[in-house]
Amino acid sequence: MTAAAGIARDLASLVGTVLDGTYRLDQLIGEGGMGAVFRGRHVIMMRDVAIKILHPDFNRDPELVRRFDREAQSAARLDHPNCIHVSAYGTTEDGMRYLVMQLLEGVELADLLTEPTAPKRVVEWSIQILRGLEHAHGQGVIHRDLKPQNVFLTRDKHGAPLLKLVDFGIAKLVGSDAGDPLTRAGMVFGTPQYMSPEQALGLEIDPRADLYAVGILMFQMLTGRLPFNHEDAIALIRMQVSTETPQLPDNVPQELAAIVYRLLAKQREQRFPDARTVRAALERYRSNMSHKGRGDTSDPLLDIGAVAGTDTASRPLPEALRPRQIDFVESVLQTDRWSRRTRFKALIAGCIVLAVASAGLLYWLFSGDGPAAPAGPDAPAATAGEAGPGTDAPKAGTAGDVPSAMSQTTGPSELELATLDDLIKQGKLDEAQTQIDALLERHPGHSQLVWRDARQLAKRATMHEAAVRRYGEVLKKSPDLERDLGFIDEVDVLLRKRPFTDAAIALAVDLGAAGVPILVHYINDAKPWATWAQRRLIRDALPADAAAQVDLALNRRRDLEQYGEAPDPCAAAVPVLQAIQAEPLADYVPALKAALPPTVAAGAPANPACDQAAALLATVRTEYAGRFPEAFAPAKAVKKKPVKKKKKRGK
């Protein structure tokens, strides 16, 4: 008898068992890689439930136990119509873990995506999915594996269509994941077809990873196909990271397409900020379409009966409710499981040489297969077999970090680089520095080594400026990195730490479009660290479409305070005074009262702009005094109370 047959026999023998005297297992309705789901009965409340169990043989596997526990912990936080409800979780006396859920009747979303779906139906479905995510994210739960198999279509008690998010087995619990191998940065979990770029790279994720998956779902619903797909999981991950989103068909309304494209932005900063914002956008779109009389009026779940059939109790359990096997990418990265999980040996045999560690794998994934060498002074002409510029690197300071591959003809080996990555990850910075210095003597200026030097410097509290300079050197050697998500994410973390210096501004400018959010952050900083020259450099580097993000009131006040630092103070003062005169705000009053009329330097020729600025300053002050009299009222003198002398008492 095979192991699988033995497990099936053991599971079938559990029918009729009552767990903890409360939950009776009535019918086996689904099996998976590590357990099963039964139709069950709460024998006290006389209510049908679904009961997921972890097979006793797997209770000795700590990672499978953690996965099972994670699903219970995640789902227990949720109480929303669009999320599956978990009512109980426990362990029997003989050590069998179980999870009690509501019993759903219906179909998976995957069962209905055999052809393109009408836009109106897509909008209705997506709004419900986003409502579930909005609640989950509000409870600190990031799903991380949103896909059609994990969206269940049923009906509420009134018969109205209802979608539910299920399977929170690899969810990330925000704020409680320290040291948890299921959620640590550098590990890749999920389904590659629906995985955000940052998730595919093993970077730290936030709720916007789920929003990317919503974009994939919407694209698939609208077209009947995935935007990115490949039989090779490694190639598929590369597509998620660097391939542009395909165009939606012409029959998809432009307003709806714009929402999908924004959800699928490669950089999470360019996506919607949260699920609530996306839901609101779709609801506005739906309202506009109803007023225009556009869209179909069919029932989004009209075909459930045809798909599900009438005998829902006896049909196979949907994939969404089955105990899940480890996904391909996850199995590749969990190298310590290879010797124990023999059923995955055939799947991952070809990947063993790549997985020295999580970081080593990511390095290989994005080192390129073809003959392409990076631009830069240390990159000779490409020859056959060389690796091209890499794609991404994890965020600085996270486990499993590794820069993208920018291999040259000669350079350090992959093992040497992986060793450096491991030392930096473990915080053994002095040892890493020693090895980097030795390797740089053999390979002067090598991009990979300079990058790692920058990263170890960035982890030292007193080496901020040196780290910024080293990152600048890496970017100059490989300019294509300004489009590298991992590099950008890593540099972004460093550049948002104080102090903000000329070198930091220059590096943000060199990042091009990717550096715009950092520059906006600098120009809108409430702390007055930036000089006139620094602020002018930032303003000049910002593209026109970023102007709306600049805090005009804050920057006009700074200009009013700093025009004396300008190369021509008189010419700088006039437009500032004109702007605050045109839009009077109380915020300008302190700076206006403290401002001094700009003057011509001694020995310099007369400057009409100085006379204009002095007259304008006086005029604006007079106007503000009339508009904000309390702010310009002279301070009242504070009368000091006479101090009474204490009388000395005689002894």
DSSP readout, 217-262? HHHHHHHSS-SS--SSHHHHHHHHHHSPPPPPPTTS-HHHHHHHHH
Is residue 475 pLDDT above 80, yes or no?
yes
Q: What is the pLDDT of residue 291?
A: 60
Tokens standing for 276? 């609530």
Q: Label residue 344 by pLDDT band (50, 70, 90).
A: very low
Q: What is the pLDDT of residue 565?
A: 92
DSSP designation for 59: T
Task: Report the phi/psi class of residue 242: left, alpha or beta, with left for phi > 0 and alpha for psi in -120 to 50.
Answer: alpha
d(CA 120, CA 127): 11
Using a cut of 0.95, tell me whether the model's pTM lies above it: no
Q: What is the pLDDT of residue 92?
A: 83
Q: What is the pLDDT of residue 166?
A: 86
Q: What is the pLDDT of residue 293?
A: 54
Q: What is the pLDDT of residue 300?
A: 37
C-alpha distance from residue 209 to each of 264, 363, 565 (Å): 10, 21, 45
- 87-101, 102-116, 216-230, 478-492: least confident range: 478-492
* Cβ-based burial of 291 (10 A; exposed 0-12, middle 13-18, buried ≥19): exposed
d(CA 511, CA 495): 11
Q: What is the CATH number of domain 356-497?
A: 1.25.40
Between CA 358 and CA 367, with CA 361 as vertex, the angle to 5 degrees is 140
Cβ contacts of residue 15 below 8 Å, gap of 6+? Answer: 25, 26, 27, 28, 38
Q: Label residue 350 by pLDDT band (50, 70, 90).
A: very low
The DSSP bridge pattern shows strands 47-54 and 86-91 to be unpaired
Cβ contacts of residue 560 below 8 Å, gap of 6+? Answer: 576, 577, 580, 588, 591, 592, 595
Neighbours of 597 (CB within 10 A): 15
C-alpha distance from residue 628 to each of 464, 473, 594 (Å): 44, 51, 15
Q: HSE (CB half, 13 Å, CA atoms) of 110? A: 11
Q: Which residue has the higher pLDDT, 310 or 16?
A: 16
Q: Label residue 417 by pLDDT band (50, 70, 90).
A: confident
- 454-463, 580-589, 598-607: least confident range: 598-607
Is residue 286 pLDDT above 80, yes or no?
yes
Contact 207, 343 (CB under 8 A): no
Q: What is the pLDDT of residue 514?
A: 76
Is residue 118 pLDDT above 80, yes or no?
yes
CATH of 3-103, one of 3.30.200.20, 3.30.450.20, 3.40.50.10800, 3.40.50.300: 3.30.200.20
Q: Which residues pair with 51 in a beta bridge?
A: 38, 100
Q: What is the pLDDT of residue 536?
A: 92
Give 625-633 contacts, CB < 8 A, sequence gap 24+. 627/584, 628/584, 628/586, 628/589, 631/586, 631/589, 631/593, 632/589, 632/593
Q: What is the pLDDT of residue 13?
A: 80
Q: Label residue 165 by pLDDT band (50, 70, 90).
A: very high
Q: What is the pLDDT of residue 647?
A: 64
Which pLDDT tens digit goes with each residue over 271-282? 999 999 999 999
Tokens standing for 598? 């700009």
* Cβ-based burial of 176 (10 A; exposed 0-12, middle 13-18, buried ≥19): exposed
Q: Label residue 418 by pLDDT band (50, 70, 90).
A: confident
C-alpha distance from residue 305 to each of 112, 186, 300, 393 (Å): 11, 43, 12, 47
Q: Which residue has the higher pLDDT, 453 or 186?
A: 453
Angle between helix 447-458 and helix 464-477 axes, rounded to 10 deg: 160
Q: Which residue has the higher pLDDT, 588 or 490?
A: 588
Task: Name the residue among 244, 248, 279, 234 with its Cα closest to residue 265.
Answer: 244
Q: Which CATH architecture has domain 107-309?
A: Orthogonal Bundle (1.10)
Helix (H, G, I), strand (E, B) or coil at 107: strand
User: Is 52 marked as a binding-site residue?
Assistant: yes
Is residue 164 pLDDT above 80, yes or no?
yes
Tokens standing for 595? 């401002």
Q: What is the pLDDT of residue 504?
A: 93
Is residue 304 pLDDT above 60, yes or no?
no
Tokens standing for 151? 């969206």
Is residue 137 pLDDT above 60, yes or no?
yes
Cβ contacts of residue 74 below 8 Å, gap of 6+? Answer: 141, 168, 169, 171, 173
Portion of the chain with pLDDT greater than 70, in percent:
73
Say which residue the tokens 């362990």 belong to: 91
Q: What is the pLDDT of residue 167?
A: 80
Between CA 492 and CA 495, with CA 493 as vertex, the angle to 5 degrees is 65
* Cβ-based burial of 23 (10 A; exposed 0-12, middle 13-18, buried ≥19): buried
Q: What is the pLDDT of residue 8?
A: 59
Which pLDDT tens digit goes with each residue over 508-557? 998 888 788 889 889 998 888 999 999 999 999 998 878 778 889 999 99
- 158-167, 272-281, 430-439: least confident range: 158-167
The DSSP bridge pattern shows strands 97-101 and 47-54 to be antiparallel
DSSP secondary structure, 141-209, as one string = EE-S--SGGGEEEEE-TTS-EEEEE---TT-EETT--TT-TTT-TT---S-GGG--HHHHTT----THH
Portion of the chain with pLDDT greater than 90, in percent:
34
- 8-17, 107-116, 609-618: least confident range: 8-17
Which pLDDT tens digit goes with each residue over 378-415? 333 333 333 333 333 333 333 334 444 343 447 898 88
Average pLDDT, whole number, for the chain?
76
Is residue 252 pLDDT above 90, yes or no?
yes
Is residue 453 pLDDT above 50, yes or no?
yes
- 194-203, 354-363, 375-384, 631-640: least confident range: 375-384
d(CA 499, CA 351): 43
Task: Name the residue among 266, 472, 470, 489 with its Cα closest to residue 398.
Answer: 489
Q: HSE (CB half, 13 Å, CA atoms) of 378? A: 22
